[in-house]
Amino acid sequence: MKIDILTLFPEMFKGFLSESIIARAIKEKKVEINIYDIREYSKDKHKKVDDYQFGGGEGMVLMPQPIFDAVDDLKKEDTKVILMTPQGIPYKQKLAYNLSNEKHLLIICGHYEGFDERIRSLADMEVSIGDFVLTGGELASMVVTDSIVRLLDGVIKDASHQNDSFNDNLLDYPVYTKPREYRGMKVPEVLLSGNHALIDEWRNKMKIERTKKRRPDLLKGDLYE
Ligand code: ADE
């Protein structure tokens, strides 16, 4: 899979691409991730990418030209173009699964002050990572990329994401490691029993209990389509 990201702040991606599971996935060629500087596509002699908005108002607006040219350059037949914006559809695990089956994603990071409305026409999908406003789409694009890359074949053990929160619209069950008792808090007996049928039953029960208590909205099941 290939993921191309269009941004005004390429430096923000350095740590993200060079650490942990993402770095390993790149090294092992499970994914190719390219960061493109929107400014490089500007035809303006000062590499300007934004301007005042028509009609007046605070803030600079990202101009269409650099983004249209970048998409013309990078979009191929099997490319899905995603625009990161708080006005997009809410990002969910189900969408992470669907996107992990694509061949090529081109992610456009929106601008803190806004982008020319015509840029929307380039996107196959507009995605929001939550009902809050970030200074730009960069962190959002990293969130989306991270959640997709970990689902790609061979990036983490299959079993690790089979139990993820949100699969089956349920939160994950609690897990414990050594020691068996810490500051008076004990590991539940059942986990030490060696009885795997009982352990599975307990884990399922915990998933349901936890979801009922913390995220009853998930149990309606329609949020993750
Ligand atoms: N850009 C700014 N805020 C965002 C959000 N919540 N989701 C996606 N992109 C964004």
Beta-carbon contacts of 85 under 8 Å, excluding residues fewer than 6 positions away, are 110, 115, 126, 127, 128, 137
Of the residues 86, 102, 172, 210, which is catalytic?
A: 86
Give me the residue spans of the domains in the chain.
Answer: 2-149, 163-219
Q: What is the pLDDT, as a whole number, of residue 225? A: 47
- pLDDT tens per residue across span 76-104: 999 999 999 999 999 999 999 999 999 99
Q: Which tens digit of pLDDT belongs to each residue from 49-81? A: 999 999 999 989 999 999 999 999 999 999 999
Starting at the earlier edge strand, list the strands of the sheet with 32-37: 32-37, 2-7, 104-109, 79-90, 125-128
Q: Kindly name the residue from 37, 40, 69, 113 that is annotated as catalytic.
A: 113
Smallest Cα–Cα separation from 165: which of 100, 224, 89?
224
Residue range 127-170, pLDDT digits in tens:
999 999 999 999 999 999 999 999 999 999 877 777 777 878 99
Q: What is the dihedral of CA 56, 140, 32, 48, to 10 degrees?
A: 20
* pLDDT, greater one: 21 or 113: 21
Ligand 1 pocket, 62 CB below 6 A?
no
pLDDT value, residue 168:
85
Is domain 2-149 in CATH 3.40.1280.10, yes or no? yes
CATH of 163-219, one of 1.50.10.20, 1.10.10.10, 1.10.1270.20, 1.10.357.10: 1.10.1270.20
**Segment 22-34 mean pLDDT:** 98
64 given a catalytic annotation: no
> What is the per-residue pLDDT for 224?
46
- Distance between CA atoms of 19 and 119, rounded to whole angstroms? 32
